[in-house]
Amino acid sequence: MKKLINAPEAVLADALSGIAAAHPSLKVDAENRVIARASGTKPGKVALVSGGGSGHEPLHGGFVGRGMLDAACAGEVFTSPVPGQMLTAAQAVDGGAGVVFIVKNYTGDVLNFQMAAELAVEEGITVETVLVDDDVAVQDSTYTAGRRGTGATVFVEKIAGALAEQGADLAAVAEMAKRVNASSRSFAVALTACTTPASGKPGFDLPEDEMEVGVGIHGEPGRRREKLRPAREIVATALDAILGDQPLDAGDETIVMVNGLGGTPLIELYVVFNEVAAALADKGVVIARNLVGNYVTSLDMAGVSLTVCKADADMLSLWDAPVNTPALRWGS
Amino acid sequence: MKKLINAPEAVLADALSGIAAAHPSLKVDAENRVIARASGTKPGKVALVSGGGSGHEPLHGGFVGRGMLDAACAGEVFTSPVPGQMLTAAQAVDGGAGVVFIVKNYTGDVLNFQMAAELAVEEGITVETVLVDDDVAVQDSTYTAGRRGTGATVFVEKIAGALAEQGADLAAVAEMAKRVNASSRSFAVALTACTTPASGKPGFDLPEDEMEVGVGIHGEPGRRREKLRPAREIVATALDAILGDQPLDAGDETIVMVNGLGGTPLIELYVVFNEVAAALADKGVVIARNLVGNYVTSLDMAGVSLTVCKADADMLSLWDAPVNTPALRWGS
């Protein structure tokens, strides 16, 4: 295993300490592994809390800041945070208007956020939970009952975060988060497996000329193994799966993310985006906004995920609203 | 070779087309492989042009935009652009106040930019050339006579770009660019070799338990091979080289970049930044600003580079000035 770390068991604490040192706009509770805005929550603002296993950076800590999350809970690598962390986060950021938990659909995350929601209610905090389950590759997987939550998390956090910033109430923010999830579909392909610090070896074997089609962000199996194909054909496969599940018509506006899984260089992501843009243009589908880069990663996995959100005017307007986080920043 | 591409010979054209599709703020001249601001140059503003081989994305095209570069020329992977591209770029963005060429110190880039400067002068364009040579690892290398130009390029382009945006004249912008370069030092370590699309195989062999200390951004050899060590010790080696060349005193303010080489996940970069912050704090050196992420990459190479710029108040103020490019964006 080749990693820039001190020791496998120190990775999360060291990285959180690095995040704290790099970003004065964030306040890192090292003991509880909660990353929150240093500025706190404005009274009356709905607070957004997310979290999950580490190894997907910048998700979620990199999306904490004005216009997006209020706090993120970091679990160990590929391991859900525990309810106590989520409760701590909710208590730290509740501004009296309630808290939205944004939960990627993995069994551990779902159970732990559910327990945290019950604990929070006991503490007098109103909580709405939004499940993200955008991955169309498989129905169930190693980590999940139902569809996995992946790239749409970024769209949900950005758009619902902007609405909360504008002063919307808890029900409205949760409703928008659910709408964004319901409008989004994702599909990923891996060229290599990722290696967790704890295991020290790749999570699966993938021959030198094959790819895993429909992979999950922890290296869970996808739909099938295939010979590696040109980017154009990989994009066609991903778009077939996405549009097969949510058809788009000519004139529909979308937000598209071409996301690197951690070990894929940016030049390849632009090659992929070029194919996505051409394929959608052929159908008359408009890419109104886009992200090309590393947003929801799987440690050092080489590969790409594609997320397409069918966006209405409200979503686009909220997308354009100011955001100031380590990983997304504009208009501010 | 596992890459998300259509064909090795199509990578650059496809990526440029993807950049054009993703960023409406940019205008991509596909034939000449020049990326410029779609808005053009305001008359009287000094224009900044950079460029170099591809494979280092987001460098340089990702730094084109308000507050930074006016245009970037893209060569083939790890190959200098040609003088005709640079001349085209200079002609496209000259606002009548002259053009600064920002050139990383690699033999091909230096010769081609020099020829382009001569051609530009014949066309009536005033040109100043600034050489970036911040890499303290080796004096000469496969691609370079003298020190290689690496991470400091980002600092030079950002700070000189901000000064140009404020209306400074050609001499002042070039002078500031030179000062930033003279104040910056870099050092890189590779855990794996990178694979160019054309060759299809890693540029060098590195045993499973070794790292290349002082590597260049094309995989050029560094100072030595060593057994892989903990992040803390790798940072100590890099900082020793950097501070050995440019001592810093307690109270000195710096801009620090912990830069991934393309195949290293963000969580590891934060582990590294944490060690840099601790080590500099021990010496009383202040990290006034920082970047942690992938800015100057080497295709899919796993590894990290560290760049430290001793920054005065002018540089920090220009660093904070608004910037709106694909890869750096704030205050706008």
CB contact under 8 A, A14 and B57: no
Which residues of chain A lie closer than 8 angstroms to B191, CB-CB? 2-4
Please give the sequence-ordered ranges of beta strands (E in DSSP) within B55-109, or none if there are none.
Answer: 71-77, 99-104
Q: CB distance from B4 to chain A under 8 Å?
A: yes
Q: CB distance from B329 to chain A under 8 Å?
A: yes
Assess whether B23 carries a catalytic annotation: no
CA distance B93 to A262: 35
pLDDT at B153 over 90: yes
Which residues of chain B lie closer than 8 angstroms to A329, CB-CB? 329-330
Report how far apart, in Å, the C-alpha atoms of A275 and of each of A120, A156, A251, B21, B239 are: 45, 25, 19, 10, 42
User: Nearest residue on chain B to A3, judged by CA atoms?
Assistant: B268
Residues B96 and B169 in one domain: yes
The secondary element (H helix, E strand) that includes residue A73 is strand A71-77
Which residues of chain A lie closer than 8 angstroms to B17, CB-CB? 274
CATH code of residue A206: 3.30.1180.20
Domain containing residue A293: 184-322
Mutating which of B270, B273, B320 best tests the A interface, going by the most A Cβ atoms within 10 A? B270
Name the residue among B70, B52, B62 with its Cα closest to residue B15: B62
The secondary element (H helix, E strand) that includes residue B316 is helix B313-320
- Whether residue B161 is contained in a domain is answered as yes
For chain B positions 260-299, those within 8 Å of chain A (CB to CB) are: 262-275, 277-278, 287, 290, 292, 294, 297, 299
Q: CB distance from B259 to chain A under 8 Å?
A: no
For chain B positions 162-191, those within 8 Å of chain A (CB to CB) are: 191
Among B211, B266, B302, select the one facing A294 at the smallest CB separation: B266
**Choosing from B37, B60, B66, B218, which is the catalytic residue?**
B218
- Other beta carbons within 10 angstroms of residue A322's beta carbon come to 12
Task: Tell me the pLDDT tens digit for each residue of B118-131.
Answer: 999 999 999 999 99
Residues A146 and A195 in one domain: no
Residues A133 and A156 in one domain: yes
Supply the DSSP symbol for A8. Answer: G
- Whether residue B4 is contained in a domain is answered as no
Report how far apart, in Å, the C-alpha atoms of B69 and of each of B3, B32, B121, B305, B325 are: 29, 17, 20, 22, 9
The residue-averaged pLDDT of B55-62 equals 98
Q: CB distance from A14 to chain B under 8 Å?
A: yes
- Whether residue B6 is contained in a domain is answered as no
CA distance A179 to A200: 39
- Whether residue B331 is contained in a domain is answered as no
* Per-residue pLDDT at B143: 78
Residues B263 and B119 in one domain: no
For chain A positions 59-98, those within 8 Å of chain B (CB to CB) are: 62, 77
CB pairs under 8 A between A and B: 178
Report how far apart, in Å, the C-alpha atoms of B25 and of each of A89, A255, A318, A321, B156 are: 38, 17, 20, 18, 22
- CA B188 to chain CA centroid, Å, is 13
Residues B28 and B69 in one domain: yes
* Per-residue pLDDT at A139: 85
* Per-residue pLDDT at A40: 97
CB contact under 8 A, B55 and A265: yes
CB contact under 8 A, B14 and A274: yes
Residues B21 and B168 in one domain: yes
Residues B151 and B225 in one domain: no
Q: CB distance from A226 to chain B under 8 Å?
A: no
- Other beta carbons within 10 angstroms of residue A288's beta carbon come to 17
Cα of B28 to nearest chain A Cα, Å = 13
Supply the DSSP symbol for A149. Answer: P
Residues A197 and A285 in one domain: yes
CA distance A290 to A328: 12
CA distance A133 to B136: 48
Residues A166 and A41 in one domain: yes
Residues B114 and B209 in one domain: no
Among B139, B158, B183, where does a domain finish? B183
Are residues B228 and B210 in contact, defined by beta-carbon separation less than 8 angstroms?
A: yes
Among B153, B183, B213, where does a domain finish? B183
Number of Cα atoms under 13 Å in the Cβ half of residue B69:
33
Q: CB distance from A112 to chain B under 8 Å?
A: no
Among B2, B17, B330, select the one facing A302 at the smallest CB separation: B2
Q: CB distance from B11 to chain A under 8 Å?
A: yes
- Where does B11-145 have alpha helices with state H? 11-22, 83-93, 107-122
- Whether residue A329 is contained in a domain is answered as no
Please name every residue paired with A307 in a beta bridge, in sequence order, or none if there are none.
Answer: A186, A257
Among A4, A303, A331, select the one facing B231 at the smallest CB separation: A4
CB contact under 8 A, A267 and B54: yes
Supply the DSSP symbol for A124. Answer: T
CA distance B138 to B152: 16
Which residues of chain B lie closer than 8 angstroms to A300, CB-CB? 263-265, 302
Among A183, A204, A224, where does a domain finish? A183
Among B6, B271, B294, select the one facing A4 at the smallest CB separation: B271
CA distance A182 to A308: 11
CA distance A233 to A215: 16
**Choosing from A23, A37, A104, A218, which is the catalytic residue?**
A218
Task: Tell me the pLDDT tens digit for each residue of B25-51.
Answer: 999 999 999 999 999 999 999 999 999
* Per-residue pLDDT at A143: 78
- Whether residue A18 is contained in a domain is answered as yes
Q: CB distance from A231 to chain B under 8 Å?
A: yes
> How would you class A212 by CB atoms within 10 Å of its CB: exposed for 0-12, middle for 13-18, buried for 19 or more?
buried
User: Nearest residue on chain B to A191, judged by CA atoms?
Assistant: B2
Are residues B297 and B56 in contact, defined by beta-carbon separation less than 8 angstroms?
A: yes
- Whether residue B291 is contained in a domain is answered as yes
Which residues of chain A lie closer than 8 angstroms to B266, CB-CB? 57-58, 62, 262, 294, 297
Task: Tell me the pLDDT tens digit for each residue of B67-100.
Answer: 999 999 999 999 999 999 999 999 999 999 999 9
User: Nearest residue on chain A to B19, judged by CA atoms?
Assistant: A270
CA distance A5 to A15: 9
The residue-averaged pLDDT of B227-252 equals 98
State the pLDDT confidence band at B104, using cuts at 50, 70 and 90.
very high
Residues B123 and B176 in one domain: yes
Residues B152 and B192 in one domain: no
**Choosing from B33, B56, B60, B310, which is the catalytic residue?**
B56
Cα of A96 to nearest chain B Cα, Å = 30
CA distance A221 to A212: 7
Which positions ≥6 away from A122 have C-beta within 8 Å? none
Give the CA radius of gyration of chain A.
Answer: 19
Cα of A118 to nearest chain B Cα, Å = 31
State the pLDDT confidence band at B140, using cuts at 50, 70 and 90.
confident
pLDDT at B217 over 80: yes
Name the residue among B15, B238, B35, B5 with its Cα closest to residue A304: B5
- Whether residue B266 is contained in a domain is answered as yes
CATH code of residue A152: 3.40.50.10440
Q: Could you give the number of structural domains in chain B?
A: 2
Cα of B284 to nearest chain A Cα, Å = 15
> What share of chain B in percent tops pLDDT 70?
100
Among A290, A302, A329, select the one facing B330 at the smallest CB separation: A329
Name the residue among B116, B46, B36, B47 with its Cα closest to residue B80: B116
* Regions of chain A short of the pLDDT cut 70: 332
- Other beta carbons within 10 angstroms of residue B313's beta carbon come to 9
Task: Tell me the pLDDT tens digit for each residue of B184-215.
Answer: 999 999 999 999 999 999 999 999 999 999 99
